[in-house]
C-alpha cells in the first residue's frame, strides 16, 4: 500500500527486516526452501502447515522489499537495498547446507538495481558498503554475465550507465585477494578463485565493448577501463582498434583514449606512428573547459619528454600552446607557460623562438595554426611573441610567469604537478591575500558621508534626518 501511494516505506522495511530475521534465526523459516514452497500442498501437521505459510509470505515480503528499491525517493530505495542485503546475509548464516551463498537472492537484487529507465547511482553508492566483502565480489562476478542482454533491442543508456556502475563497484585491486577473512555471508572454502573471476571479467567486458556508446557512456567506460579493468584483461592489445577509434571522437573521450594508448605503448609495446599528430590535434580551445585537461597536459609532458624528438615537432607544440595561451583561462595560462619552458629546456635549440629575428609578429606570423601536420606548420620560422604579450597581463601571477623568456632559464625543469590543479578560485584568493600599499585619497579625514568637501553642493542636495 505504501508503494502504491508513494509514501515513506522505511518503517515497513525495518519491521519486515526485524520480523523475518528473527523467524529465520528461530528456524521457523528455512532459507534453502524459499521460492519452492508456493506449489507445495498444505501438510496435515499444523506446525508444518504454519511454517509453510511463513515460508510463502517471506517470499512475498522479499519481493516487496525488492520493489521498494524502485521507490522515487533515494533514501527509501537505499533502505530497501540495505534490508534486502541484511536478509540475504541472515539467510546464508542459517542455511542447512554449509557454505551455500544465496545466489538467487543476489541476482534478484542486482537485477532490480539495473534499471532501464533511471540512473541508480545512489543505490550503487550504498552497495559499495557490501561490495567490499570478498564473497559478495566473487558471487557477483558469477552472476554478472547472465545479466547482460544478448538478444532483442539494444539496452538503454540508463541500463548501460547502471551496468558500468555495478562493474565499478565490484571490480577490485589484486591486493584485495589477500583479505581472505573479509566475508559478509560465507567463507570461501578454497579461497578466492581469481582465475574464474578474471575469466568472467573478460567475458563481461567483451559484451560491454560490443554496445553502441553515447558520449557519456563512452566516457564512463574509458574511465572504468583505465582505472580498474586493464589489470584484469588477458589480452589488452585487443583494445587497440577501440582506443584508436576513440581518439577520433574528440573532447574528453579522446583524452581518456590517449591515456589508454599510452598504457599499451608503455606496457605492451604498441607502435602507433601518428600518435603525435593526434596529440597535436587535441590542443584546441575546447580542452580548457573539460574536466580532464590536467590529464592531457600530464600525458603530453610524458610523450614529449624525449630529447631525441625532431625540433620541428616540438616547436609546433610550443607555438600551438603559445597561441592558445592568448585565449586560455588564467589558471591554464600558467600551466602552458611552465610546459613551454620545460620543452625549451629539453631542446635548447628552441631558444631561437624567443626572439627570432625574422619570426614576425601578430600581423605577420609564418606559423600556420590550421595545419594538422605539426612538421608542416612552419613553427621554427616563428617567434614567441604571444608570451611577450602576456608579460602585460592584468594578473601579476600570469605576467610574472611569462617573464621567463626575458630572464636566464633555470637549470632544472619546472614541476608541472604544482600548477596542474590550480583553479580560478586559487588565483583570486592569492591576489586577495597579497599585500598592497595603502594610498591616501583625501587631504582631510572625512567626518561623515555628506560633509563639506571643498564646497556645499553635497550638503545642499542631501540632508540626513
Q: What is the pLDDT of residues 337-358, one digit of tens each?
A: 999 999 999 998 888 888 776 6
Contact 371, 377 (CB under 8 A): yes
pLDDT on residue 408: 87
End-to-end CA distance of the chain: 66
Mean pLDDT across the chain: 84
Task: Please determine, for residue 1, whether its predicted confidence score (pLDDT) is greater than 60.
Answer: no
pLDDT tens-digit profile of 84-128?
999 998 888 877 665 578 888 999 999 999 998 889 999 999 999
d(CA 68, CA 129): 19
Whole-number Å distance between alpha carbons of 327 and 349: 27
Mean pLDDT of 122-135: 92
Query: Quick one: which of 327, 318, 387, 313 has its CA closest to 355?
Result: 387
Q: Which of 110-114, 268-272, 328-332 has the lowest mean pLDDT?
A: 268-272
Which burial class, exposed, middle or buried, applies to 363 when counting CB atoms under 10 A from its CB (0-12, 13-18, 19+)?
exposed
- What per-residue confidence (pLDDT) applies to 443? 64
Q: Is the per-residue pLDDT at 38 higher than 50?
A: no
Burial class of residue 271 in the structure, from the number of CB atoms within 10 Å of its CB (0-12 exposed, 13-18 middle, 19+ buried): exposed
Query: Looking at residues 239-245, what average pLDDT do you find?
Result: 89
Q: What confidence score (pLDDT) does residue 210 get? A: 86
pLDDT confidence bin for 35, thresholds 50/70/90: very low
Residue of higher predicted confidence among 13 and 39? 13
Q: How confident is the model at residue 438 (pLDDT cuts 50, 70, 90)?
A: low
Q: Give the pLDDT mean for 153-170.
A: 92
Alpha helices in 27-133 (DSSP H): 46-68, 74-93, 103-113, 121-127
Kindly give the residue spans of alpha helices, DSSP state H, lying in 248-381.
251-268, 275-282, 293-303, 311-324, 330-346
Cα 122 to Cα 69: distance, rounded to the nearest angstrom? 11
Q: Which of the four pLDDT bands, split at 50, 70 and 90, describes residue 37?
A: very low
Identify the helix (H) or strand (E) that includes residue 134: helix 134-143
Q: How confident is the model at residue 390 (pLDDT cuts 50, 70, 90)?
A: very high
What confidence tens digit (pLDDT) does each residue in 50-88 have?
A: 778 888 888 888 999 998 898 888 999 999 999 999 999
Question: What pLDDT is stored for residue 418 in this prediction?
Answer: 82
Amino acid at each position: 500500500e505504501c508503494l502504491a501511494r508513494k509514501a515513506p516505506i522505511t518503517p515497513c522495511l525495518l519491521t519486515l527486516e526485524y520480523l523475518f530475521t528473527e523467524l529465520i534465526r528461530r528456524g521457523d523459516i528455512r532459507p534453502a526452501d524459499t521460492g519452492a514452497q508456493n506449489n507445495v500442498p498444505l501438510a496435515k501437521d499444523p506446525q508444518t502447515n504454519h511454517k509453510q505459510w511463513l515460508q510463502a509470505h517471506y517470499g512475498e515480503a522479499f519481493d516487496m522489499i525488492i520493489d521498494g528499491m524502485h521507490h522515487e525517493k533515494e533514501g527509501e530505495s537505499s533502505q530497501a537495498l540495505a534490508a534486502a542485503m541484511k536478509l540475504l546475509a541472515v539467510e546464508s548464516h542459517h542455511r542447512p547446507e554449509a557454505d551455500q551463498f544465496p545466489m538467487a537472492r543476489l541476482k534478484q537484487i542486482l537485477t532490480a538495481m539495473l534499471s532501464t529507465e533511471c540512473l541508480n547511482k545512489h543505490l550503487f553508492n550504498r552497495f559499495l558498503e557490501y561490495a567490499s566483502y570478498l564473497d559478495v565480489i566473487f558471487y557477483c562476478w558469477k552472476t554478472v554475465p547472465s545479466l547482460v542482454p544478448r538478444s532483442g533491442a539494444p539496452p538503454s543508456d540508463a541500463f548501460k550507465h547502471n551496468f558500468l556502475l555495478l562493474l565499478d563497484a565490484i571490480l577490485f585491486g589484486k591486493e584485495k585477494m589477500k583479505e581472505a577473512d573479509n566475508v559478509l555471508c560465507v567463507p570461501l572454502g578454497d579461497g578466492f578463485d581469481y582465475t574464474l573471476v578474471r575469466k568472467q571479467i573478460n567475458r563481461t567486458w567483451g559484451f560491454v565493448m560490443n554496445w553502441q556508446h553515447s558520449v557519456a557512456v563512452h566516457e564512463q567506460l574509458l574511465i572504468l577501463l583505465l582505472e580498474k579493468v586493464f589489470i584484469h584483461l588477458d589480452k589488452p592489445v585487443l583494445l587497440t582498434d577501440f582506443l584508436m577509434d576513440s581518439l577520433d571522437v574528440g573532447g574528453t573521450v579522446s583524452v581518456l583514449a590517449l591515456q589508454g594508448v599510452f598504457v599499451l605503448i608503455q606496457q605492451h609495446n604498441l607502435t602507433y606512428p601518428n600518435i603525435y599528430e593526434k596529440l597535436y590535434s587535441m590542443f584546441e580551445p575546447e580542452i580548457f573547459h573539460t574536466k580532464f585537461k590536467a590529464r592531457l597536459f600530464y600525458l603530453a609532458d610524458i610523450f614529449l619528454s624525449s630529447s631525441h624528438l625532431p625540433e620541428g615537432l616540438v616547436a609546433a607544440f610550443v607555438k600551438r600552446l603559445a597561441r592558445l595561451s592568448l585565449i586560455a583561462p588564467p589558471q591554464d595560462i600558467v600551466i602552458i607557460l611552465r610546459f613551454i619552458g620545460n620543452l625549451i629546456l629539453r631542446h635548447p635549440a628552441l631558444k631561437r623562438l624567443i626572439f627570432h629575428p625574422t619570426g614576425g609578429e601578430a600581423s605577420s606570423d609564418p606559423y600556420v595554426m590550421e595545419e594538422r601536420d605539426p612538421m608542416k606548420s612552419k613553427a621554427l620560422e616563428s617567434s614567441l611573441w604571444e608570451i611577450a604579450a602576456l608579460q602585460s597581463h592584468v594578473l601579476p601571477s600570469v605576467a610574472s610567469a611569462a617573464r621567463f623568456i626575458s630572464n636566464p632559464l633555470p637549470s632544472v625543469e619546472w614541476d608541472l604537478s604544482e600548477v596542474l590543479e590550480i583553479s580560478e578560485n586559487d588565483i583570486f584568493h592569492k591576489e586577495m591575500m597579497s599585500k598592497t600599499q595603502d594610498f591616501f585619497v583625501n587631504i582631510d579625514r572625512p567626518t561623515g558621508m555628506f560633509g563639506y568637501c571643498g564646497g556645499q553642493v553635497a550638503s545642499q542636495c542631501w540632508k540626513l534626518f
